[in-house]
Structure 1
Amino acid sequence: MKEKVEVIHKRLIAAQDRQRKYADQSRKDVLFKPRDKVLLKISPLKGLSRFGKNGKLSPRYIRPFEVLRQVGKVAYELALPPQMQHLHNVFQVSLLKKYNTDAGPVIELELVDIHQDLSYME
């Protein structure tokens, strides 16, 4: 009986080590500095209705907030606007996403003079 328990224990340890190895491969440490901009995840649970929309159209992250300071290893204090002062301003790093200020390529629009017959000059 004791031998079976030892075998089961060894197999559990091996399975835990495998899972830890797979999890550590995809895990990355996210660090933010004060004055960085982050997006806040507003709906951690599926099915919750926040900010007036539900389902596929509900936003996942809202507006960029400024990081004020780091609180502990995985929590950050954010500068919230006055209308969100009822929320606690310390959030775990899993609810934050780095805000990319680069909006991508900007396409300049040219005004085209369209004639009455819906034709235009190139």
Structure 2
Amino acid sequence: IALPPSLSNLHNVFHVSQLRRYVADPSHVIEADDVQLRDNLTVETIPLRVEGREVKKLRNKEIASVKVVWEDPQVRTRHGNWRVR
């Protein structure tokens, strides 16, 4: 939830009483482009390059992660993470 500037002094976690009913506005609708979905509802994307690698150390194991820049048909590039096992 994005807080309006008038509520910028509030913490991101606030009481339910601060919420208000949403008034429908057709200008808030975002049109989706045609996306080619597979039968299992996945989308094929191509990794462009590896941005960085990192190993996070927990108490008794290490988790390697790789930051990847993906090719996305709707957006030029998108960042994501792969966990390496």
Band the TM-score falls in, shorter-chain normalisation: under 0.3
Q: How high is the TM-score relative to the length of structure 2?
A: 0.20
Q: Which structure has greater helix proportion?
A: 1
Q: Which structure has greater strand proportion?
A: 2
Q: How high is the TM-score relative to the length of structure 1?
A: 0.15
